[in-house]
Chain A
Amino acid sequence: MKVIATVSGKGGTGKTTISVAIAKTLASKHRVGLLDIDITGANAHKLVNVVEPYDITSSGDGIKIVPAKAEVDGRQIDFLSIALVSESYVGWKPGQHGDFVEQMLTNTDWDVDYLVLDAPPGTHNDVIRALDYTDVAIFTTLRHPLAKLDAMRTFELLSDMEVPIAGQYINMAYVVCPKCGEKIRIFKDEVPLPVPVIEEIPITDGLPELSYDKLMKAIKNAKVYKVKKRSFISRTLVEMFLRGLAHVKGED
Chain B
Amino acid sequence: MSRERIREIINGLLKLQDMVLGKNPVDPWVKERVLDNIGNVAMIQIIDEDGVVAERLKLDEKTLRIVRTNEKPVHVITMHVDVFLDLLSGDLDFKDAYVNGFVEFRGKDYHTHAMLWAKAFERLRKYIRPKFRRRW
* A interface list, Cβ under 8 A from B: 54-56, 58, 62-65, 82, 85-86, 88-93, 96, 99-100, 103-104, 107
Contact A103 B112, CB 8 Å, known A56-B33, A58-B33, A63-B36:
yes
Pairs A-B, 10 closest by C-beta atoms: A91-B101, A58-B36, A86-B95, A86-B99, A107-B112, A88-B96, A103-B111, A56-B116, A91-B100, A100-B111
8 Å CB contact of A88 from B37, B99, B104, B109: B99
| Contact of A65 with B115 in the complex, beta carbons under 8 Å | yes
| Contact of A88 with B100 in the complex, beta carbons under 8 Å | yes
**From A56, A92, A103, residue with most partner B Cβ within 10 Å:** A56
| Contact of A92 with B112 in the complex, beta carbons under 8 Å | no
> Please, how many angstroms separate the alpha-carbon atoms of A93 and B100 in the complex?
10
Complex contacts, B60 vs chain A, CB 8 Å? none
Interface string of B85-124 (1 = CB under 8 A from A): 0000000010110111110100011111101101100000
8 Å CB contact of B112 from A65, A90, A93: A65
| Contact of A86 with B119 in the complex, beta carbons under 8 Å | no
Contact A82 B99, CB 8 Å, known A63-B109, A99-B111:
yes
> Please, how many angstroms separate the alpha-carbon atoms of A58 and B109 in the complex?
13
> Please, how many angstroms separate the alpha-carbon atoms of A100 and B119 in the complex?
16
Contact A103 B109, CB 8 Å, known A63-B116, A88-B100:
yes
